[in-house]
Structure 1
Amino acid sequence: MPFLTQPVLPAGTLSRTPQPVLPTRDGLVLRPWRDDDAPAVHAAFQDPLIHQWHIRAADSVEEVAGWIEEWRAAWSEEHGAQWAVTDAGTDVPLGRVALRDVRLGDGVAEIAYWTTAAARGRGVAARATSALAHWAFEEIGFHRLELTHAVANRASCRVAAKAGFELEGTKRSALLHPDGWHDMHLHARVRDGRRPAR
């Protein structure tokens, strides 16, 4: 049975070229993860706030090295794309920004992020998210980007708003964290800039 619409983005849209480096022009660079980033990621995941709002722990640098291999493979497999958010002057990792659950045919992906404790309060997550969204819409042609976070994570809600992601609603009891089930806010941006109906 044929489809009545064409894919928004064809297979190969991401994998036909190497994962790009994305400068934000405001002091940050989004670059692919490297093997030598594993100690920095491991250190970031020892932070209590990472434990509070994420569902994954990092027990060793070797474990994180495996994650980085998976992150790099996700680009060629076109189901995700992960960038290290680094200081443009020092190349020190300040966090991560990613496209998850990529559905090229629908032109949809979810943005996710975290920052190191030392980078918080500097707008790193919002700036990186804005830069990634610009690239995804203008360079690649995604139609819709979603962003979810625990309702109780007010800092993440501020990041979403600063990056232009409108709050669309609440997904009740949608994600299990170490302290129990959390309601999740759903934010989104669409390429043509249309705001949700009120």
Structure 2
Amino acid sequence: MDEAIALRPWRVGDVAAVMEGFGSAEIQRWHVLRIDDEDEARGWVAQWARRWDEEDAASWAIVGEDDEALGQVGLRGINLVEASAGLSYWVVPSARGRGLAGLAVGVIEDWCFGTLGLNRLVLDHSTQNRQSCRVAEKAGYPLEGVLRQSMLHADGWHDAHVHARTRTSG
């Protein structure tokens, strides 16, 4: 059964969730950015207002009924002229296995296609990141192809799956 979730802007009070998320071995494996202390976590939270103003990226906390941050969903590489953006997501270890990332992708997709007027959303991940691939597939993002050695992770270059949806494909 799906949970009720909401998306909201990040707050300074979410630093513990950011630390839990970025402290996770899985997120460290698939995410280039490292956050090693509370000052870095506060900086990560604080950046999103500026990046939204610059129209290049955005990120929201995925929250449950208690308003506790359980993960993030975001837009990267926003291109308003070409009406496209990339999707990103992660869930804190203590909240995994509940379908939260897929639910959040659905919420942000509805807003991007309906309100923001985007035409295309792209989701890419290492071909070795099976969890992210499952989220993409369950959210209705078909695999479009593979980008060879397009992602640098701590263990070297990875091929990436590219999944996408358009406003008219869903």
Residue 179 (str. 1) matches residue 155 (str. 2): yes
Equivalent residue in structure 2 for 1:95, among 50, 71, 96: 71
Q: Report if aligned partners of 2:148, 2:159 keep a CA contact under 8 Å in 1.
A: yes
CA distance in 2, matches of 1:110, 1:145: 6
What is the count of residue pairs matched by the alignment?
169
Per the alignment, residue 110 of structure 1 pairs with: 86
CA distance in 2, matches of 1:160, 1:40: 23
CA distance in 1, matches of 2:3, 2:95: 14
Letter in structure 2 aligned against 1:68: V
Q: In percent, how many aligned pairs have the same letter? A: 43
Partner SS, residue 172 of structure 1:
strand
Equivalent residue in structure 1 for 2:42, among 65, 69, 76: 65
TM-score scaled by length of structure 1: 0.82
4+ residue runs over 6 A deviation: none
Equivalent residue in structure 2 for 1:152, among 128, 153, 166: 128
Partner SS, residue 105 of structure 1:
coil
CA distance in 1, matches of 2:116, 2:14: 27
What is the Cα deviation at residue 119 of structure 1? 1.2
Per the alignment, residue 112 of structure 2 pairs with: 136
Instruction: Choose between structure 1 and 2: higher helix proportion.
Output: 2
Letter in structure 2 aligned against 1:41: V
TM-score scaled by length of structure 2: 0.95
Partner SS, residue 106 of structure 1:
coil
CA distance in 2, matches of 1:26, 1:77: 33
Equivalent residue in structure 2 for 1:166, among 114, 125, 142: 142
Give 5+ residue unaligned stretches, structure 1: 1-24
Q: Report if aligned partners of 1:137, 1:191 keep a CA contact under 8 Å in 2.
A: yes
Q: Report if aligned partners of 1:72, 1:82 keep a CA contact under 8 Å in 2.
A: no
Residue 43 (str. 1) matches residue 32 (str. 2): no
CA distance in 2, matches of 1:107, 1:185: 21
Letter in structure 1 aligned against 2:31: H
Per the alignment, residue 85 of structure 1 pairs with: 62
Q: Report if aligned partners of 1:33, 1:72 keep a CA contact under 8 Å in 2.
A: no
What is the Cα deviation at residue 39 of structure 1? 2.2
Residue 119 (str. 1) matches residue 95 (str. 2): yes
Equivalent residue in structure 2 for 1:188, among 157, 164, 167: 164
What is the Cα deviation at residue 171 of structure 1? 0.3
Q: Report if aligned partners of 1:53, 1:177 keep a CA contact under 8 Å in 2.
A: yes
Mark the structure with the bigger radius of gyration.
1
